[in-house]
């Protein structure tokens, strides 16, 4: 079955959503993320939606769910790359994505999670102990 | 004189919802809607298609190209023979959800289109018609 | 009315010659269209008219048989509209066909009065119908042109400016109406993405009034920017606008505001962890003009 890949970069989980998701795929992703956090002890989740041209209330709720579930498991989530048309539509739809942090790009997202110059520091075990 | 081009798609499973979105996107692109208008319409279609599937227990979407003088528009009609909506005013309120936590998204969809009409009664299914003009 | 069709085909050359001659007497526009092109268009139209007549008769130029003639006229009309012909000049193209056509009908032998009347009437109906098609196509094209120009004007009138790395400014001048605000805001959000700017300063010093609609659009833009991961700062709020905002009950609690663009810029720098520092120990203007040979006595 097709799945959205969840990549690991040290303590960070990186997810790039590029397909027009049907509901089952979205639910599968929620599952996968929570399982991986538990399995790898991840501290950060970065979801890249720069290829998503449509975010409806279902997808919006999926993103909010992932953020909430991850937090319970000790990880913080950042959603990056939202397209302007999508943002405008979400506002009109009345969706505010509560509890979901956002950033303009993957780099900005990593900076938000790990601090400035984060690009080179996510592989260290120290991160987890420090935090 | 207005000419209408129209097509009907089934909404019987979650893949159909994806196909419906793509069809609306395709027609909106052909008619050269702006990107924001396209996104709003396709998103509304996604919401309403999902409703038809989840609450209406399956139905169909009819997409129609409208021409009124120099104006060009797209009309989408979502129909199902499901349980119907007992209190439409309530359903249109933002934040309305039925037990499972899935909002009906009706109120939001209304804001994404230029014209919105809904016909529904318990036991008589539901029909939602939305139109977006270019 | 194939009768009319026959009359036209038999006399095609002559009708066309008289037609173009009449047209050049009234409306030449040699500056916009050459004689050759005019001849070609007239010839093509006559042939299309004959075809239309033969398939569907003169009564309804909107029927299927007339599609070719209609499309030809719509093309001609649209291109004339774009070139700047007046509506009269465009309609005259079709209407000046009347005289040569009526002349040809009169020349046609063996007609009693009734037949003559019928044929003339058919010809009139036909040409009036075609003239209307022409005029409608002309209007539609002009409208499109105007809309496109409006759009371009909207986009040009509010440029988004990059103040610094990651900090944009959008100085808005003039009244904001619903349409303009939407275009401006979309443009801003798009620039936020393309320049990867976390801060967008919306300066409304040059905006005389803000009503509920505009305020709502501004708020929606700020919310959308936030959803994308950027922050907006509103600057240049004048006292009158501040009063209006409060009176309208608009909630700006979540929004960062500053009195002027400079302050907003300072705020953006500050939040992004940057500050402006004066250079030290550098020869030149910063030392002051008095810090020259004359000053040595004092130091």
**Closest-CA residue to C189 (of C159, C165, C215, C221):** C221
- Mean pLDDT of the B18-33 span: 94
* Distance of alpha carbon A121 from alpha carbon C188, whole angstroms: 33
Q: What is the pLDDT of residues C233-284, one digit of tens each?
A: 999 988 888 888 888 888 878 889 998 999 999 999 999 989 888 887 665 5
pLDDT computed for residue A117 by the predictor? 65
What b/e string do you get for C176-189 counting C-beta neighbours within 10 Å, with b at 16 or more? Answer: beeebbbbbbbbbb
CB B19 within 8 A of CB A71: no
DSSP letter, residue C234: E
Q: Is B36 within 8 Å of C186 when comparing Cβ atoms? A: yes
- pLDDT for residue B100: 38
Contact A29, A35 (CB under 8 A): no
Identify the pLDDT of residue C288.
66
In this complex, do A104 and C230 lie within 8 Å of one another by their Cβ atoms? yes
Report phi then psi at A73, rounded to 5.
Answer: -90, 5
- Residue C297's pLDDT band, with cuts at 50, 70 and 90, is very low
pLDDT bucket at C145, cuts 50 / 70 / 90:
confident
Structure confidence at residue B99 as a pLDDT band (50, 70, 90): very low
Chain A within 8 Å of C62 (Cβ-Cβ)? no
Task: Between C248 and B45, name the one with better pLDDT.
Answer: B45
Per-residue model confidence as pLDDT tens digits over A56-78? 988 999 999 999 999 999 999 99
Q: Which pLDDT does position C227 carry in this prediction?
A: 94
> To 10 degrees, what angle do helices C113-157 and C2-10 make?
80
User: Tell me, what's the pLDDT at B48?
Assistant: 94
Residues 82-101 of B with CB under 8 A from A: 94-95, 101
Q: Answer whether C140 sits within 8 Å of B36, measured CB to CB.
A: no
pLDDT at B1 over 90: no
Q: Does B77 or C64 have the greater pLDDT score?
A: B77
**Do B53 and B13 touch, CB atoms closer than 8 A?**
yes
Distance CA C264, CA C262 (A): 5
Cβ distance of A91 and C220 shorter than 8 Å: yes
Quick one: closest CA in B to A19, which residue?
Answer: B18
- Mean of the pLDDT values across residues A40-57? 94
Mean residue pLDDT across chain A: 87
Q: What percent of chain C is predicted at pLDDT more than 70?
A: 88
Mean pLDDT of C11-34: 76
A55 close contact with B: CB closer than 8 A: yes
In whole angstroms, what is the distance from residue C71 CA to residue B95 CA?
51
Which of B14, B39, B112 lies closest to A86 in CB terms?
B39
What confidence score (pLDDT) does residue A35 get? 95
- The partner residue sitting opposite B70, judged by closest CB among C140, C182, C186, is C140
Nearest residue to A87 (alpha-carbon basis) of A53, A113, A44, A110: A53
What's the rounded mean pLDDT across residues C140-158?
A: 78
Interface test with C, best of A77, A87, A113 (most C CBs within 10 A): A87
- Do residues C138 and C75 make contact, with C-beta atoms less than 8 angstroms apart? no
pLDDT over 70 percentage in chain A: 88
If we measure between CA atoms, which residue out of A61, A68, A115 comes closest to residue A93? A61
Residues on chain A touching B107 (C-beta within 8 angstroms): 94
Range with the poorest average pLDDT among A119-128, B24-33, C28-37: A119-128
Answer whether residue C83 shows pLDDT above 60: yes
Higher pLDDT, C295 or C84: C84
The pLDDT score that the predictor gives to residue C231 is 94
A88: nearest CB among C186, C192, C193: C186
Q: What mean pLDDT do residues C89-117 have?
A: 84
What is the pLDDT averaged over residues B79-102? 71
Going from the C-alpha of B24 to that of each of B111, C114, C206, the distances in angstroms are 17, 57, 40
C126: tokens are 């036909």
pLDDT of residue C1: 46
**Residue C30 predicted with pLDDT over 70:** no
pLDDT score at B96: 54
Minimal C-alpha gap between A89 and chain C (Å): 8
| Residues B99, B102, B106: CA angle, nearest 5 degrees | 110
So what's the pLDDT on residue A1? 60
Nearest to C123 by CA among C180, C39, C65, C57: C57
Structure tokens at C79: 């291109």
Distance (Å) from the alpha carbon of C228 to chain B's nearest alpha carbon: 15
Helices (H), C27-86: 35-56, 67-83
User: Among A126-130, B70-74, C35-39, C159-163, where is mean pLDDT lowest?
Assistant: A126-130
The continuous run of DSSP H or E covering B5 comes out as: strand B5-11
* A–B CB contacts, 8 A cutoff, strictly below: 67
CA C31 to mean position of chain CA atoms: 25
Among C28-42, C184-198, C272-286, name the most confident range: C184-198
Per CB-CB distance under 8 Å, the chain B contacts of C144 are 70
Residue A26: pLDDT over 60: yes
Question: What's the pLDDT band for C26 if we cut at 50, 70, 90?
Answer: low
């Amino acid at each position: 079955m097709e799945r959205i890949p969840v990549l690991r970069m040290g303590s960070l989980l990186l997810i790039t959503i590029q397909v027009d998701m049907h509901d089952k795929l979205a639910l599968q992703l929620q599952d996968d993320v929570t399982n991986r956090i538990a399995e790898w002890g991840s501290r950060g989740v970065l979801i890249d939606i720069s290829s998503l041209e449509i975010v409806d209330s279902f997808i919006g709720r999926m993103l909010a769910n992932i953020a909430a579930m991850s937090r319970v498991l000790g990880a913080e989530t950042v959603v990056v790359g939202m397209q302007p048309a999508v943002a405008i539509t979400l506002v009109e739809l009345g969706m505010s994505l509560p509890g979901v942090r956002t950033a303009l790009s993957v780099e900005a997202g990593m900076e938000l999670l790990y601090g400035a110059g984060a690009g080179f520091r996510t592989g260290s075990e120290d991160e987890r102990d420090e935090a | 004189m207005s000419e209408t081009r129209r097509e009907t798609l089934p909404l019987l499973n979650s893949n159909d919802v994806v196909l419906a979105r793509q069809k609306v996107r395709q027609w909106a692109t052909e008619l050269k809607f702006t990107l924001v208008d396209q996104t709003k319409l396709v998103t509304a279609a996604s919401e309403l298609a999902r409703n038809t599937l989840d609450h209406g227990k399956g139905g169909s979407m009819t997409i129609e190209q409208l021409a009124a003088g120099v104006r060009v528009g797209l009309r989408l009609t979502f129909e199902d023979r499901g349980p119907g909506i007992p209190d439409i005013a309530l359903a249109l309120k933002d934040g309305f959800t039925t037990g499972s936590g899935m909002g009906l998204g009706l109120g939001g969809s209304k804001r994404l289109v230029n014209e919105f009409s809904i016909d529904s009664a318990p036991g008589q299914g539901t029909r939602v018609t939305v139109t977006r003009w270019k | 009315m194939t009768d009319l069709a026959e009359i036209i085909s038999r006399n095609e050359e002559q009708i066309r010659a008289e037609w173009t001659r009449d047209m050049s007497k009234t409306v030449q526009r040699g500056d916009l269209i050459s004689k050759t092109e005019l001849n070609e268009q007239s010839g093509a139209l006559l042939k299309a008219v004959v075809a239309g007549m033969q398939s569907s008769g003169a009564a309804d130029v909107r029927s299927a048989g007339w599609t070719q003639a209609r499309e030809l006229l719509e093309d001609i009309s649209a291109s004339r509209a774009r070139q700047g012909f007046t509506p009269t000049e465009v309609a005259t193209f079709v209407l000046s066909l009347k005289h040569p056509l009526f002349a040809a009908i009169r020349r046609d032998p063996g007609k009693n009065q009734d037949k003559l009347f019928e044929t003339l009437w058919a010809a009139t109906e036909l040409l009036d119908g075609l003239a209307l098609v022409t005029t409608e196509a002309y209007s539609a094209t002009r409208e499109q042109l105007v809309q496109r120009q409006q759009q371009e004007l909207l986009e040009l009138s509010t440029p988004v400016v990059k103040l610094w790395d990651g900090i944009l400014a959008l100085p808005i001048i003039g009244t904001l109406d619903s349409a303009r605000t939407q275009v401006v805001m979309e443009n801003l959000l798009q620039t936020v993405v393309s320049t990867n700017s976390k801060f967008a300063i919306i300066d409304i010093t040059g905006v005389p009034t803000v009503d509920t609609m505009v305020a709502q659009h501004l708020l929606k833009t700020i919310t959308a920017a936030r959803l994308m991961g950027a922050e907006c700062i509103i600057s240049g709020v004048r006292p009158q606008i501040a009063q209006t905002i409060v009176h309208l009950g608009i909630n700006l609690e979540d929004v960062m505001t500053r009195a002027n663009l400079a302050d907003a810029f300072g705020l953006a720098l500050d939040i992004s962890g940057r500050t402006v520092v004066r250079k030290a120990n550098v020869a030149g203007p910063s030392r002051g003009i008095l810090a020259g040979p004359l000053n040595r006595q004092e130091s």
